[in-house]
Amino acid sequence: MNTPKSNTAFTLIELLTVIAIIGILAAILIPVVGTVRKSARAAQCVSNLRQIGVAFTGYAADNRNRYPLPYNGSISSATSSNWYYHVAPYMGFEAPATWLRLQQFCKPGGGPLGCPSTDVNDTSYSQPWISYSMSKAHLIWMEDRGLLPTPIPPRTPGVPVSAIQNPAVSLMVTESHSHPYFDNSSADPKAKFGLAYPHSDKLNALFADGHVKTHTKQQIDENWELWYTRAIDG
């Protein structure tokens, strides 16, 4: 007597059901994975800014309690000296010898000067490889409330730490794809004050007291005068 063979193959309905379930799970999980990745990048950016804050503190301790200038000279010249060069030794690497070498440290994955959410191919910004910028108020507002000469002389000291009266609301370094500094004007069509908002239309900002906070563009726009760091006392 022949025993009938069991049929273990899926029916068409079963296959369609499995495919439908996989599709539903994918529709649920893919956005979640994307959100998790964005959150991880934003968290890394916060960590980067905290490291920058520690580096600023270290630099000030070794330089008569003064911050570095955002830059002096042409930002791309061989003799330029922007804040990246000054804080590099306090972040575990040597100050780059050239502007092109500096770019490697600022790109995503290059170190704490590069935000992982920075889009280096975004040509709507003048220098999209730059992730972080320092307040230009440190450059134009001196103890005597006068303007620095142009070009800025080499080895010009930055403002004293004590000159910042409200460090908790004084924005020091934040996200920008334009220059090593930011101010109250911008030629970039997508940014106001030269700032960028790479984290779901938000940016992370380092304040003079060392804390880092996430802000929306609206919050920055509505409180700019409060957050614009000005050194007014020598």
pLDDT, one tens digit per residue, over 188-210 is 445 556 788 889 889 999 998 99
CA 171, CA 53: separation in Å to the nearest integer? 11
> Residues 123-147: what's their mean pLDDT?
65
CA 160, CA 185: separation in Å to the nearest integer? 25
Cβ-contact 154, 73 below 8 angstroms: yes
> Residues 157-172: what's their mean pLDDT?
82
Nearest Cα to 78, choosing from 110, 59, 102?
102
Residue scoring higher pLDDT (226 or 69): 69
Q: Is 82 exposed, middle or buried (0-12, 13-18, 19+ CB in 10 A)?
A: buried
Give the pLDDT confidence score for residue 230 in this predicted structure.
53
CA 129, CA 227: separation in Å to the nearest integer? 25
pLDDT, one tens digit per residue, over 29-84 is 666 556 778 888 889 999 999 999 999 999 999 999 988 887 765 555 545 567 88
Nearest Cα to 174, choosing from 219, 204, 137?
204
Residue scoring higher pLDDT (98 or 92): 92
132-135 vs 181-182, strand pairing mode:
parallel
114 contact partners, CB below 8 Å, separation of at least 6: 48, 105, 106, 107, 108, 131
Of 7-16, 72-81, 144-153, 213-222, minimum mean pLDDT range:
144-153
Of 18-22, 91-95, 139-143, 174-178, minimum mean pLDDT range:
139-143
Give the pLDDT confidence score for residue 61 in this predicted structure.
95
Give the pLDDT confidence score for residue 147 in this predicted structure.
45
Domains in the chain: boundaries: 13-227
